[in-house]
Amino acid sequence: MSTPAPLGLRRYTVGVLLWNLAVIVWGAFVRASRSGDGCGDHWPMCHGEVVPSSPTFKTLVEFSHRATSGLALISVVILLVWAVRALPPRHAARRAAWASMLFMLTEAAVGALLVKFKLVAGNDTLGRALFMAVHLVNTFLLVGSLTLTAWYAAGRPAPRRRDGVATLSALLLAALTTLGVSGAIAALGDTLFPAVSLLEGLRSDFLPTAHLFVRLRIWHPVLAVGTAGLVVLGAAWLAQRVPTPAVRRAGLTAGGLTLLQLGLGLLNVVLLAPTWMQLVHLLVADLLWIALVVLSAAALGEAADAPPRRH
């Protein structure tokens, strides 16, 4: 175990993580409500104003997202300064805080480019899909870094393994990231090309004349089933290979959230992807990502030659 951070810093780190989850979900509402152009192509100003004087609904949605994102940026700056002042230079939580700051800055940059290049609202170009993929990957990296900051701030050991545990952990994280990218593109297709019925939506997925975003939607549930199986089996293997309470708890959480997410995904398809369902689906995806990051960190923090613990 490494030196735990002060209690105030540990609580603050968890608060920053929760705030960022709320900002991410609200960002999905911006996309689902097609409000990404609510401030025009101005950034960081909104229609050339610091505070919009005659806001429409779309303007209020986009402006509130920018305001909460700005607070998220400030919160991470405070987190980094606090971690640097309170923790020794080589502490794992301090390094994770630096990573959080980096990915928060890139998150802001990607958001600004989406606005400046007008890759929002009804834009259905390939460029928007590529930026959505980058945005999703960066968001996962940000959430993962904040999760690790909180994990290591609690005094958990830094990664020490270089065996199959590390390889499988990397594979699980990569698979979930790939699934997240496909989900972001599928959600974009549902927003821009909503189906009027389940049968019509399924037919559209296989029409060669349908938009690329629509034809790509079918791959998300296929990847979801495969990834779910990989995560459940991988979590079980990690719990057996590193039989500690932390790994078991994280493995059970990851497995449970995986099954829950599969059910929510099916419900999302049946209900024709209503906005509220998309937000719930995204939140659970982020919670599953957090669980998988914790599972990997817990397993990697055990010495490779340590004997299994008995409880």
pLDDT tens digits for 119-168?
Answer: 999 999 999 999 999 999 999 999 999 999 999 999 999 998 889 999 99
| Confidence check: pLDDT of 263 > 60 | yes
Same domain (yes/no): 41, 99: yes
Q: Which two tokens stand for residue 161?
A: 């393994």
Same domain (yes/no): 79, 210: no
Percentage of residues of the chain with pLDDT beyond 90: 88
Provide mean pLDDT across the span 62-67. 95
What is the pLDDT at residue 311?
Answer: 45
Distance between first and last Cα of the chain = 19
Decide which of 156, 179, 196 is a domain's last residue: 156
The residue type of 254 is: A
User: How confident is residue 233, by pLDDT bands cut at 50, 70 and 90?
Assistant: very high
Same domain (yes/no): 99, 170: no
Could you give the 3-state DSSP secondary structure of residue 16?
A: helix
Same domain (yes/no): 175, 132: no
What is the pLDDT at residue 280?
Answer: 97
How many structural domains compose the chain? Answer: 2
Among 4-18, 95-109, 205-219, the minimum mean pLDDT is found in 205-219
5's CB contacts (< 8 A; 6+ apart) are: 13, 83, 86, 87, 91, 93, 153, 154, 155
Percentage of residues of the chain with pLDDT beyond 70: 97
Q: How many CB atoms lie within 10 A of CB 86?
A: 16
User: How confident is residue 260, by pLDDT bands cut at 50, 70 and 90?
Assistant: very high
Mean per-residue pLDDT over the chain, rounded:
94
124 within 8 A of 192, measured Cβ to Cβ = yes
Same domain (yes/no): 66, 3: yes
Same domain (yes/no): 195, 304: yes
Same domain (yes/no): 27, 99: yes
Q: Which two tokens stand for residue 249?
A: 């708890």
Residue 106 sits in which domain range?
A: 1-156
Same domain (yes/no): 85, 127: yes
Decide which of 105, 140, 156 is a domain's last residue: 156
What is the pLDDT at residue 184?
Answer: 95
Q: Each residue of 68-115: pLDDT tens digit?
A: 999 999 999 999 999 999 999 999 999 999 999 999 999 999 999 999
Provide mean pLDDT across the span 274-303. 96
Measured in degrees and rounded to the nearest 5, phi and psi for residue 46 equal: -115, 110
Q: How many CB atoms lie within 10 A of CB 194?
A: 11
Same domain (yes/no): 245, 144: no
Calculate helix-pair angle for 126-153, 7-32, nearest 10 degrees: 160
Provide mean pLDDT across the span 227-239. 97
Same domain (yes/no): 13, 67: yes
Decide which of 126, 156, 186 is a domain's last residue: 156
What is the pLDDT at residue 44?
Answer: 85
| Confidence check: pLDDT of 287 > 90 | yes
Same domain (yes/no): 287, 310: yes
Same domain (yes/no): 257, 140: no
